[in-house]
Amino acid sequence: MNPEVLERVLRCERLPSLPAVAMRVIELTGSPSTSMREIAEVISNDQGLASKVLKTVNSSFYGLSKPCTTINQAIVMLGLSAVKTLALGFSLVSTLGRSQAAFDFPTYWRRCLLSGVAAKCIAHDTKIGYEEECFLAGLLQDVGMIALYEALQGEYVEVLERAGDDHRSLVKEEMAAFELSHPEVGAMLVGRWKLPPELAMPIKFHERPQGAPQDYIELARAVGLGNIAADMLITPEPALVLKKYYARAQEWFQIAPGRADELMKKITVGAKEVAKLLDLKTAAFNDPESVRATANKQLLAITVPLNDAPCDQASAADGMPAGAEGTGGAIAGMAGRVVFSQNIVAVIEQFAAGGGPYSVALLSIDEFAGMEESQGEPYANEVLVRFADALKKHVSSANAVICALERGQFGVLLIGADRLAATRLVEQFKLNCAATTMSVKPVGLLAVDLVLTVSAGLLTLDNTTRDRFSNLDSVMDTAGRALASAQRAGSNILRVFMPKQSAA
């Protein structure tokens, strides 16, 4: 953290400050002797604030069973924490700038509003408590951006321009320029206002919830997941963000995709309603149905193979020296494990979006290591080249990706091939190999006649396995187990993964 920049920010006279009513509410709620009536009177004395709080409480966003007509009644029905947080939120929003040419407030408020409403919906759905704190933390999560802008002006505008529409890159740009980030500044500002840690911690850790102290990690996750939901409703390319939203919802709160979709509907409805109540002018955002439709189109539009670079090029691109994968880099023009993994990941994304079928086969030359030891490396290299050529020729009529995974082992991705078609293709190749005598003659050496047999493991991504394969590891582990089963059974064996049939 750069102390000089921090001092410039904290000494700036234009920093957002708490209005008098908010300061008085915080003061009263910090005293154990304060009665609910006293707090209700303070809020009620600000007629504009009281009206907004009551409108919000009586809106469908809260869904009360009967109307609430006074602040005191609101405190009884919703609790002191909820009403206090709403009052603070409304009073703070009214003081934060809204119309400066160099700072895009409509876009700023769109993100904060969506994140705040999403965080509240998530907190309510998961029953973690602190629903209003999650709402206000989301609403104020980026207040550090306003503080940095007010203190640094043009310097910060340059950072905003470099980050562009990618909010996720903003912290990186801030750290590079100032060694300071808006979540840190926001948390300091909230601390200065004497707001509780239930607000400060989610604001500080909303970009990295897993770093929050254990006592506040659920609140930080709710705001963090709200951030992802906001990104999804804003970005024109939601495919990867939707996947991240599903993954974090499941990982952090055990929210299944169907339930996550329902939450998104509540978030968009709530955001539109709260924007009116807060009198906020925000940039437009998408609706969940169009987001899912766009995401699915983007995933299905991915062209496979993604990359047909030879294995030595793919290794170098992945930060490894040529041949370092142990894939038999002597096979010219054949991609390696990195490219195979990339293509598997791509078809998993398409599969999740409703594409398919796709089949994955792992083929291993039986007794290859023993043959290499007895005949020597030149013969083994020639066998690999000849085998690869035969495999390419055999699947040439299919839409296939063929890669050398390790010496003697190959991966085949068959796009559009169902289980039966893929089984027939691999089985026929296996039979062809066993029925063919291969004359192997490396340069300068005598010819040796060899008959190769092949063990293979096969799986298919289709409707019967839709809940089974969601990531690269699940696909490769299952295909690997099928191959291992074939190898244990002897030589020249194919094992096909078959999903268990559910009980009728």
**Residue 323 DSSP label:** T
Would 304 be classed as within a structural domain? Answer: no
In a domain, 66, yes or no: yes
Residues paired with 410 in a beta bridge:
363, 404
Same domain, 77 and 102: no
Q: Is 258 exposed, middle or buried (0-12, 13-18, 19+ CB in 10 A)?
A: exposed
| 266, 336: one domain | no
Give how many domains the chain has, as a whole number.
3
- Which residue, among 480, 436, 420, has the nearest Cα to 455 in the 3D structure? 480
Task: Give the pLDDT of residue 100.
Answer: 65
Low-confidence ranges of the chain (pLDDT < 70): 97-101, 296, 298-333, 501-504
CATH number for 386: 3.30.70.270
132 and 274 in a single domain? The answer is yes
Domain final residue pick, 53, 79, 95: 95
Looking at residue 326, its pLDDT comes to 37
Burial of 58 (0-12, 13-18, 19+ CB in 10 A): middle
Residues 351 and 455 in one domain: yes
Q: For residues 266 and 160, state if they share a domain.
A: yes
Which of 17, 201, 235 shows the shortest CA–CA distance to 119? 201
- What residues contact residue 322 under an 8 Å CB cut-off, 6+ apart? 312, 313, 315, 316, 329
Residue indicated by tokens 């303070």: 42
Q: Which domain holds residue 69?
A: 17-95
- Asked if the structure places residue 111 within a domain, the reply is yes
- pTM of the predicted model as reported, rounded to 2 decimal places: 0.63
Q: Which residues pair with 360 in a beta bridge?
A: 413, 459
pLDDT value of residue 325: 38
Residues 283 and 319 in one domain: no
306: in domain: no
Please indicate, yes or no, whether residues 177 and 60 belong to a single structural domain of this protein: no
pLDDT, position 362: 97
Half-sphere exposure of 111 toward its Cβ, with a 13 Å CA cutoff?
19
What is the length of the chain? 504
Do 177 and 272 lie in a common domain? Answer: yes
Same domain, 334 and 233: no
Q: Which residue, of 249, 271, 297, is where some domain finishes? A: 297
The answer on 136 and 218 residing in a single domain is yes
In a domain, 302, yes or no: no
CA–CA separation, 181 and 167 (whole Å): 12
Question: Which pLDDT belongs to residue 98?
Answer: 55
The Cα diameter of the chain in Å comes to: 101
Cα separation, 373 vs 12, whole angstroms: 75
Question: Residue 503 domain-assigned?
Answer: no
- Answer yes or no: is 502 within a domain: no
Q: What is the pLDDT of residues 219-240, one digit of tens each?
A: 999 999 999 999 989 888 887 7
**pLDDT of 170:** 92
Same domain, 178 and 244: yes
Taking only the tens place, the pLDDT of each residue in 237-260 is: 887 788 788 889 989 999 988 899
Domain end, chosen from 271, 297, 323, is at: 297
> What amino acid is encoded at 306 in this protein?
L
Establish if 504 belongs to a structural domain. Answer: no
DSSP assignments along 459-490, one per residue: EEESGGGTTT--SHHHHHHHHHHHHHHHHHT-
Residues 119 and 76 placed together within one structural domain of the fold: no
